[in-house]
């Protein structure tokens, strides 16, 4: 702890002080504690999923929702994935956590369908560590079997950089998933340097243009060039293209003009609870109140 670190630092003399500064120690300790908490979080049922709708730009229909994990910590409150997914990756905890996400997203999607809502595709983020697991395929099959969800309503999102770590392995795994009937999209596209010749061998249905190219889309000519290039690349390779992080009318106008297929972002909706999705779909259908 900080007192002991301070004492130790004094013992070692001034020159060494910076290496034992309490702030440094506290961060390391904080990290260690958070890791312990993360280990228990699954058993304590502290994770929850929010869902962000994805909208067809031509029809305006919601056709899919991306599952986004949150950690509801008893004293720290709601923790964003960027704060614990990297740690979960490092420790390998991402494997059981990712498994939970997969099962929960499939279960929830089937529950929406059983409640009579128009069927959606649920999109689940898969991290590098999870993707490399030998039994990924059987885990996906388990989630589908346990939930009773039809495979055509499940999509996995893998990042472009994950694929580029080991293209051969990634393509082999994606081929197996595709033969199961699971759709795959490439997340954060544009940030991972895939070569165009590699891209055409990827068995994917969709490219997600990274938010960083969408943020300043209305004014930044470089971002406009990247976004329109990705859209026409998608068209030529027969892949759908979705823009993520869409917040303004100007961004939508650009995407429409350039024939982008789909969008996801705060402009339409932030990530919401499962009930929030049900409410939204009921409203689209004609305005009933959904059952609690
Ligand atoms: P991602 O998969 O690229 O997800 C999109 C992120 O952008 C989400 O952040 C979403 O809330 C945010 N976003 C969407 N639209 C807008 C917008 O209009 N404006 C702004 N400012 N942000 C927007 P979130 O939920 O914090 O997730 C961050 C990342 O954490 C995800 O990026 C994904 O890489 C990872 N992640 C989330 N859930 C999971 C999961 O279940 N498993 C794994 N392995 N990773 C996950
Ligand atoms: Mg994603
Ligand atoms: Mg993304
Ligand atoms: Mg992103």
Identify which ligand lies nearest to the alpha carbon of 157: 2
pLDDT beyond 70 at 20: no
Note the pLDDT of residue 290.
Answer: 58
C-alpha distances in Å from residue 118, one per residue of 61, 110, 115, 122, 196: 11, 11, 9, 12, 36
Span 5-18, pLDDT tens digits: 444 444 444 443 34
Rounded mean pLDDT of 107-136?
96
Give the count of beta carbons closer than 10 Å to the beta carbon of residue 18.
9
Q: Which atom of ligand 1 is least distant from the CA of 266?
A: 18
Q: Which atom of ligand 1 is least distant from the CA of 98?
A: 42
Note the pLDDT of residue 5.
Answer: 43
Note the pLDDT of residue 97.
Answer: 97
What percent of the chain is predicted at pLDDT more than 70?
89
- Phi and psi at 157, nearest 5°, equal -105, 120
C-alpha distances in Å from residue 55, one per residue of 136, 159, 244, 268: 29, 20, 11, 8
Strand 183-189 with 154-159, pairing: parallel
pLDDT beyond 90 at 22: no
Check if 266 has its Cβ closer than 6 Å to any atom of ligand 1: yes
- Mean pLDDT of all residues belonging to the chain: 89
Note the pLDDT of residue 26.
Answer: 59
Rounded mean pLDDT of 57-85?
95
Note the pLDDT of residue 19.
Answer: 42
Q: Read out DSSP for the chain?
A: -HHHHHHHHHHH-GGGGGGG-HHHHHHHHHHHHHHHHHHHHTTTT-EEEEEEEEEETTT--EEEEEEEEEEEETTTEEE-HHHHHHHHHHHSTHHHHHHHHHHHHHHHHHHHHHTTPPP-EEEEE--HHHHH-TTHHHHHHHHHHHHT--GGGEEEEEEHHHHHHSHHHHHHHHHHHHHHT-EEEEEEETSS---HHHHTTS--SEEEE-HHHHTTTTT-HHHHHHHHHHHHHHHHHT-EEEEES--SHHHHHHHHHTT--EEESTTT---B-HHHHHHHHHHHHT-PPPP-
Written as six digits, the tokens of 134 are 């030998």
Q: Whose CA is nearest to atom 45 of ligand 1?
A: 125
Check if 160 has its Cβ closer than 6 Å to any atom of ligand 1: no
Check if 245 has its Cβ closer than 6 Å to any atom of ligand 1: yes
Rounded to the nearest angstrom, the distance between the alpha carbon of 21 and the centre of ligand 2 is: 38
This prediction's pTM: 0.90
What was the ipTM of the complex prediction?
0.97
What percent of the chain is predicted at pLDDT more than 90?
78
Please list all protein residues whose beta carbon sits less than 5 angstroms from ligand 4, which is an ion.
Answer: 188
Check if 271 has its Cβ closer than 6 Å to any atom of ligand 1: yes
Look-up of token digits 């759709």 = 183
Span 147-167, pLDDT tens digits: 999 999 999 999 999 999 999
pLDDT beyond 90 at 274: yes
* Interatomic CA distance for residues 181 and 105, integer angstroms: 17
Span 195-243, pLDDT tens digits: 777 888 999 999 999 999 999 999 999 999 999 999 999 999 999 999 9
Check if 187 has its Cβ closer than 6 Å to any atom of ligand 1: yes
CB within 8 A of 7, min separation 6: which ones? Answer: none
Q: Is 100 or 35 the better-scoring residue by pLDDT?
A: 100
């Amino acid at each position: 702890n900080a007192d002991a670190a301070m004492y130790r630092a004094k013992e070692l003399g001034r020159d060494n002080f910076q290496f034992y500064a309490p702030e440094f120690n506290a961060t390391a300790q904080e990290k260690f504690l958070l890791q312990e908490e993360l280990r228990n979080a699954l058993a304590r049922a502290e994770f929850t999923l929010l869902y962000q709708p994805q909208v067809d730009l031509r029809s305006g229909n919601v056709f899919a929702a991306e599952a986004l994990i949150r950690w509801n910590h008893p004293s720290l409150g709601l923790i964003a994935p960027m704060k614990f997914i990297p740690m979960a990756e490092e420790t390998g905890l991402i494997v059981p956590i990712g498994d939970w996400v997969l099962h929960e997203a499939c279960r929830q999607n089937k529950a929406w369908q059983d409640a009579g809502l128009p069927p959606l595709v649920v999109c689940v983020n898969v991290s590098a560590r999870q993707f490399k697991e030998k039994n990924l395929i059987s885990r996906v099959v388990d989630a589908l079997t346990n939930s009773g969800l039809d495979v055509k309503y499940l999509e996995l999102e893998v990042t472009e950089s994950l694929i580029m770590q080991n293209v051969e392995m990634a393509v082999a795994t994606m081929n197996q998933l595709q033969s199961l009937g699971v759709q795959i999209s490439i997340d954060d596209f544009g940030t991972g340097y895939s070569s165009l010749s590699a891209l055409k061998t990827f068995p994917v249905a969709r490219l997600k243009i990274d938010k960083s190219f969408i943020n300043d889309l209305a004014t930044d000519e470089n971002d406009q060039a990247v976004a329109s290039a990705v859209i026409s690349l998608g068209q030529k390779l027969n892949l759908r293209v979705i823009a993520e992080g869409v917040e303004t009318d100007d961004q939508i106008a650009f995407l429409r003009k350039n024939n982008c297929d789909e969008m996801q972002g705060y402009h339409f909706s932030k990530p919401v609870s499962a009930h929030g999705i049900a409410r939204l779909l009921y409203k689209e259908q004609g305005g009933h109140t959904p059952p609690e």
